[in-house]
Amino acid sequence: MYKKIPVFVKITVKLYLLLIAIYTAFRVALLLLNLDRVGETTAWEVTRAFVMGVRFDIVTIGFIIAIPTIILVIFSFFGRKSRLFELIYTWFLTICFTITFGICAADIPFFDQFFDRFNITAFEWMATGDSAFVFKMIFEEPTYILMMIPVLLSGFVFWLFANRIMKRSTDWESVGYVRYSIYTLLLGGLIFIGMRGRLNEKSPIMVGTAYFGNNAMLNQLGLNPNFTLARSWLDSLDPDNQSVRFMPDEEAIANVQHYLGIENPDSDFPIARVGDFSTPLRSARNDGGYNVIVVIMEGMSYNKTAHGGNTGNLTPFLDSLMDKSLMFSNCYTSGTHTYCGIYTTFTSYPVVFRNHALKRIPVLQYDGIAATLQSKGYQTAYFTTHDKEFDNVAGFLSQNGVERIISQADYPVGEVKTTLGVPDDYMFRYAMPIFDEMAAGGKPFFAAMMTASDHGPFYIPEYFEPRSTEIKYQITEYADWSLQRFIEMASEKSWFDNTLFVFVADHGAALDTDYSIPLSYFHTPLVFYIPGMEPMVDESIASQMDLFPTVMGILGENYVNNSFGIDLLSERRPYTCFMADNKYGVLDGQWLFINQPGEEQKGLYKYREKDITNYADDYPELASEMQKYGESVWQTAEYQLDKKKTKFLSHE
């Protein structure tokens, strides 16, 4: 019977098996490197994930091999064995599939960072002029270079076996029309079904098909990163995905006005609230008011701190600072990328899916923290360790109240250690005389400082001695030590006692993986510190968007709040929400709602208890209300951007 099977069937089946074996090897590597994220499971559930993986592998293989197989079928029909064809066929497939192996390899560090399979967001920088910066950052990280070894090895193994399969396929004689037609239709049908991934005629295989249980790690293990990349790219081309369209604008705006307690909205600016929202937490020592310094900490998840349950003593200084500050223990950032943290901190607006907020054309002006304080006579500045043009940070901030930007071009060349520029503690040291100069100007100042050391490529100065042995913990220790040095240096300055220090993260890190959206990637410290203040811990739900209104509340300044943030000193929010590129989360004091639009994968979880049971069907009204909240916020934000209502224009 085997001899009667046409050669094109034998070759195709053997190549499928070979490729499934290689993709499975990458899947095994991903699992072994993330065993700590699996949690309690069974061998059967792990097996189901790998079986699901074969389905997604077959989809990936089918789309690449379909056309070459048609040509192979034609050669087989005529019984022509051509060595030239064999070489072209083998090398074409080798090149194509080696590229897919490269994506599988890149998926491993991507997954480690975002707890999400490889997708189009990894290439956002390609069309924005940041390519050189990103490539340098990649090649300065040794582990990324090492990932080329399994890629090249997998490509060689595929070429070796594919070449051998072609050479040993000698039975190219023409076969009977009936038998040939049957096998052609059978193979073509199987390849087509494999490309769809399922028999259901209504919809082909989707990312959500891989989610078979409540284990977030195993749900994603079955996916093939080439599939998730292609799917996310196709979704990005869909006109319906170019802008947020959850509901009519009027409905969303009405919902947001209700959530924000706006009873008499401005006719042109629907979320603007004008008035005195609070009283000063403490009186400034001079009539000029407090200086404000906001430190945006790279990757500083609340879970890295002792307050967040970490037992590694990674952040002793930050923990001690929390003990003598106004600290919000349930604060969440708006997105998964640094630009998200910068955007939301400065504007108090949420990020909306894959729209790069800092690169939107034209660059809009917002009633954000820098612009508002500048209008009240503050000097304004922004400090970064590296290139100010990356992610269009300089262009955006210059349009939004930042007068002075200090970046890599300002530092001595010898102090620049990696693509990410100077170490954190050097940026803090460099800033001291600039703060002295601003303080001597007779006006209060506002400054935001974006750290970078807790992001690869990692660099630890030789003068710092870490306690931990692993670099990922050592770098967190160094970042915390740099914060300590910053406050120690500042404490020696005359302006120290008259300064409000605010600490928040751009985003966190994927340290807990109980759910498809790791909460540790969004859970961040939010610390307001004035020397000598009465400490207080507030456990109410807070958002990165609330930083600006709360600063204004502490300062006791009248202002226009044309944002989605609230003054945490006098207001409370029912929920907070955050974006994870292709899915989102909404959270209150007990429940976490997760939704991936288009995939019909909704989940409702008791995150406080780390309960992975999905209660969406048990509490449909709660799930619906949380969904309405998040989608109303993002829809209204998109409306504000589209209609250019981010800058309030007084009618006086």
Reduced 3-state DSSP string for 228-282: HHHHHHHHHHCHHHCCCCCCCHHHHHHHHHHHCCCCCCCCCCCCCEEECCCCCCC
- Residue 5 in contact with residue 179, Cβ under 8 Å? no
- Whether 189 and 333 map to the same domain: the answer is no
Residue type, 504: V
- Whether 169 and 318 map to the same domain: the answer is no
User: Which of residues 202, 237, 272 is at a domain's end?
Assistant: 237
Residue type, 194: G
C-alpha to C-alpha distance for 502 and 426, rounded to whole angstroms: 19
Residue 652 belongs to a domain:
no
Residue 269 belongs to a domain:
no
- Whether 495 and 630 map to the same domain: the answer is yes
- Whether 188 and 331 map to the same domain: the answer is no
Amino acid 652: pLDDT: 43
- Whether 325 and 222 map to the same domain: the answer is no
> Which is it for strands 291-297 and 499-505: parallel, antiparallel or unpaired?
parallel
Residue 275 belongs to a domain:
no
For the chain, residues with pLDDT lower than 70 are: 1-4, 78-81, 124-139, 141-142, 170-177, 200-203, 208, 238-244, 275-288, 354, 361, 599-600, 650-652
Output the CA torsion 461→464→466→472 (10° steps).
-30
651: helix, strand or coil: coil
- Residue 406 in contact with residue 368, Cβ under 8 Å? no
- Whether 395 and 360 map to the same domain: the answer is yes
Amino acid 171: pLDDT: 66
The CA-based angle 78-13-165, given to 5 degrees, is 70
Decide: residue 423, CB within 10 A, 0-12 exposed, 13-18 middle, 19+ buried: buried
CA 492 vs. chain centroid, Å, equals 38
β-bridge mates for residue 406, sequence order? 383
Residue 242 belongs to a domain:
no
- Residue 47 in contact with residue 40, Cβ under 8 Å? no
> Which is it for strands 291-297 and 445-450: parallel, antiparallel or unpaired?
parallel
- Whether 314 and 386 map to the same domain: the answer is yes
C-alpha to C-alpha distance for 49 and 60, rounded to whole angstroms: 17
What lies within 8 Å, CB to CB, of 75 at 6+ separation is 8, 81, 82, 85, 172
What lies within 8 Å, CB to CB, of 189 at 6+ separation is none
Amino acid 428: pLDDT: 98
Nearest CA to 31 out of 212, 211, 157, 220 is that of: 220
β-bridge mates for residue 601, sequence order? 596
The pair of three-digit structure tokens given for residue 616, joined into one six-digit string? 């969406």
Decide: residue 133, CB within 10 A, 0-12 exposed, 13-18 middle, 19+ buried: middle
Amino acid 216: pLDDT: 81
The pair of three-digit structure tokens given for residue 524, joined into one six-digit string? 């961040």
- Whether 295 and 231 map to the same domain: the answer is no
Residue 271 belongs to a domain:
no
- Whether 206 and 309 map to the same domain: the answer is no
The pair of three-digit structure tokens given for residue 337, joined into one six-digit string? 């990328």
Residue 289 belongs to a domain:
yes
Decide: residue 494, CB within 10 A, 0-12 exposed, 13-18 middle, 19+ buried: exposed
Distances (CA, A) of 535 to 234, 365, 528: 50, 35, 10
Reported for 408-411, long-range contacts at CB under 8 A and 24+ positions apart, including other chains, are 408/384
Residue span of the structural domain in which 338 resides: 249-264+282-642
The pair of three-digit structure tokens given for residue 551, joined into one six-digit string? 């600063």
- Whether 490 and 591 map to the same domain: the answer is yes
Give strand ranges (E) for 48-120: none
- Residue 315 in contact with residue 525, Cβ under 8 Å? no
Decide: residue 598, CB within 10 A, 0-12 exposed, 13-18 middle, 19+ buried: middle
- Residue 459 in contact with residue 399, Cβ under 8 Å? no
Amino acid 116: pLDDT: 83
Amino acid 110: pLDDT: 86
Amino acid 10: pLDDT: 87
How many structural domains are present in the chain? Answer: 2
Number of DSSP helices (H) and strands (E) in the chain, helices first:
18, 14
Nearest CA to 57 out of 18, 23, 94, 12 is that of: 23
What lies within 8 Å, CB to CB, of 606 at 6+ separation is 590, 591, 592, 613, 615
- Whether 503 and 583 map to the same domain: the answer is yes
- Whether 213 and 255 map to the same domain: the answer is no
Residue 243 belongs to a domain:
no
Q: What is the pLDDT of residues 283-336, one digit of tens each?
A: 545 555 899 999 999 999 999 999 999 999 999 999 999 999 999 999 999 998
Residue 73 belongs to a domain:
yes
- Tallying the residues shown for the chain, one arrives at 652
Angle between helix 148-168 and helix 83-114 axes, rounded to 10 deg: 150
* CATH number of the domain that residue 257 is part of: 3.40.720.10
Q: Is the dihedral of CA 313, 318, 319, 321 positive or negative?
A: positive
- Segment holding 382, helix H or strand E: strand 379-384
Alpha-carbon radius of gyration of the chain: 28
Q: Is the dihedral of CA 59, 63, 69, 74 positive or negative?
A: positive
Alpha helices per DSSP H over 527-611: 547-555
- Segment holding 329, helix H or strand E: strand 326-332
